[in-house]
Structure 1
Amino acid sequence: MSEQSSSVAEARRALAQRLREIRLDAGLTARALAGAAGWHESKCSRLEHGRTPPSDADLRAWTRYCGVPGLAPDLIAAARGIDGMYVEWRRMERAGLRHAQESVVPLWERTRQFRIYSSWLIPGPVQTPAYIRALLTALRDRRQLADDIDAAVEVRVAKQALLHGPRQFAVLLEESALRVRIGGAETMAGQLGHLLAVASLPSVSLGIIPAAADRSALWPTETFFMFDSEQVAVELVSAHLTVTQPREIRMYEDVFAALAELAVYGADARALITAAITALG
């Protein structure tokens, strides 16, 4: 899957390379290590080339027979982290939408700088309850989830209290996000009016990228949330992708900065929002 090919594949390659280095430092051939561990010789090759994800038991055996059992906990933690980078929505939401909303609360609470880009939706921190309800109801129906909409809306609204603290929220929206009707005209009118209100908060910087902006160098991209400079969350159709590789995070930082240059702010941004409200009729 192409979405996995960056962070997940790179992390798997790095772990596989580390296993190879550990074996070579121990002076063992792949055949010798496989023999000691009771594996088929090809298993070492599959692990060292990232073709087979190592289990906890594999990593304990690898480090034990290479004479460095103390490395096992770190390697196991790294392997588990890779598994968490790409999570299908059905796995994340199998306990309900409320659980999915609650699962990110610790990350939100420890983040001080949020950078959010959305190409087609108003993002969570600045959504109204009615807009949230319309979105989550559609997700529930499309993914055939348990009906815990009321609780899920309550959790998402509660997270918005962070807007009134010491954190900073830089939000960039494509103008098209103002025009995509979620929940009908009344819900959208309320949402756009709320957007005008939250834009005045000292913790919020709201930029709108006009539809008429020259996109020759940088076209609209996937919606992403940046949590400080530690993690990026990307929302895909089928899954949630977590980017943690520093090199890739820097790429998202650069793209966010470039998108911010295309945006308008203040009175110009408010004019675009007001025009979208007027277009609702």
Structure 2
Amino acid sequence: MAVSPSSSAQQARQALANRLAELCRDAGLTGREIARLCGWHPSKSSRIMNARTPPSADDIRAWCRACAAEGQTDDLIASLRTVEDMWIGWRRMERAGLKQAQEARLPLFERTRRFRAYSSWFIPGLIQTYGYTEAVLRAVRRRRVEVDDVADAVAVRMERQRVLYEGDRRFALLVEESVLRNGIGGPDVQEEQLLHLRSRADGKLEP
């Protein structure tokens, strides 16, 4: 299954949050109780357990003490360092431009044989039209990226779609209905994208 670097970093953060939440449950503590034992505002433990706020190494030490699980402290801090490194790597990639971020994923897509994707925001990249991809990446660039290499990044993503036609691969793509109505790129882009999706649903996979 192909996963983007940013998604991988978020999944790693969520996995760490899940481990901390499990320690809390095993100790018979609620989020409010662990916050009280650690001397925090009650909302902090909730944010950590829901992966909205990453813990610090000191937070993990306090958490493990409160749960009487000091033996897991070093392992959890090591996991935290891994998560931090993943986020730093992704941010550096974004600063270098969107083309590099797209190119970095090519080897993963080329070696993947089973693709699964769920989206509640956008059409998955493998079945986006040129216009839709351009609209999405321009929005990303405006928010986070200094380098304007959107045209090159779109070309790389379009080239990546060749995995749809090469080799023995399987694809399972699920999107929310709202994705089909979000208006990205304007009416013309949306119409082209919906027609493209219909052709894919009909099994007309032509490069």
Pair in the same fold by TM > 0.5? yes
- Residue 112 of structure 1 deviates from its aligned partner by 0.6
- Cα deviation per residue 1:69-92 (whole Å; 9 max; x = unaligned)? xxxxxxxxx897555554575333
Task: Give the Cα–Cα distance (whole angstroms) in 2 for the partners of residues 113 and 102 of structure 1.
Answer: 20
Q: Which residue of 1 aligns with 2:14?
A: 6
Aligned pair count reads 148
1:55-74 superposed matches below 5 A: none
Q: 1:84 to 1:114 in 2, by over 3 A?
A: farther
CA contact (8 A) 1:128 1:191 kept: yes
Q: Which residue of 2 aligns with 1:184?
A: 186
TM-score, normalised via structure 2 length: 0.60
Which of the residues 34, 43, 49 maps onto 2:73?
A: 49
- Residue 130 of structure 1 deviates from its aligned partner by 0.6
CA contact (8 A) 2:120 2:178 kept: yes
Task: Give the Cα–Cα distance (whole angstroms) in 2 for the partners of residues 80 and 111 of structure 1.
Answer: 27
Task: Give the Cα–Cα distance (whole angstroms) in 2 for the partners of residues 49 and 154 of structure 1.
Answer: 45
Structure of higher CA gyration radius: 1
- Cα deviation per residue 1:174-193 (whole Å; 9 max; x = unaligned)? 11110001110001100111
- Cα deviation per residue 1:23-47 (whole Å; 9 max; x = unaligned)? xxxxxxxxxxxxxxxxxxx9xx999
- Residue 148 of structure 1 deviates from its aligned partner by 0.5
1:171-210 superposed matches below 5 A: 171-201=173-203
- Residue 121 of structure 1 deviates from its aligned partner by 1.2
Which secondary structure does the structure 2 equivalent of 1:187 belong to?
A: helix
Q: Which residue of 1 aligns with 2:154?
A: 153
- Cα deviation per residue 1:198-238 (whole Å; 9 max; x = unaligned)? 223388xxxxxxxxxxxxxxxxxxxxxxxxxxxxxxxxxxx
Task: Give the Cα–Cα distance (whole angstroms) in 1 for the partners of residues 195 and 171 of structure 2.
Answer: 18
Identity %: 43
CA contact (8 A) 2:16 2:76 kept: no
Which secondary structure does the structure 1 equivalent of 2:117 belong to?
A: strand
Task: Give the Cα–Cα distance (whole angstroms) in 2 for the partners of residues 100 and 150 of structure 1.
Answer: 13
Q: Which residue of 1 aligns with 2:106?
A: 105
Q: Which residue of 2 aligns with 1:269?
A: none
Which secondary structure does the structure 1 equivalent of 2:95 belong to?
A: coil
CA contact (8 A) 1:101 1:156 kept: yes
Which structure has greater strand proportion? 1
CA contact (8 A) 1:8 1:85 kept: no
1:72-111 superposed matches below 5 A: 82-86=83-87, 90-111=91-112
What's the Cα RMSD here?
3.3
Task: Give the Cα–Cα distance (whole angstroms) in 1 for the partners of residues 196 and 73 of structure 2.
Answer: 51
Which secondary structure does the structure 2 equivalent of 1:172 belong to?
A: strand
TM-score, normalised via structure 1 length: 0.45
**Which runs of 5 or more structure 1 residues have no equivalent in the other structure?**
13-41, 55-77, 204-281
Task: Give the Cα–Cα distance (whole angstroms) in 1 for the partners of residues 87 and 71 of structure 2.
Answer: 20
Amino acid at match of 2:140: L
- Residue 124 of structure 1 deviates from its aligned partner by 0.2
CA contact (8 A) 1:8 1:86 kept: no
Q: Which residue of 1 aligns with 2:39?
A: none
CA contact (8 A) 2:127 2:161 kept: yes
- Cα deviation per residue 1:96-147 (whole Å; 9 max; x = unaligned)? 0001111111111111111111112111000000111111111111114201
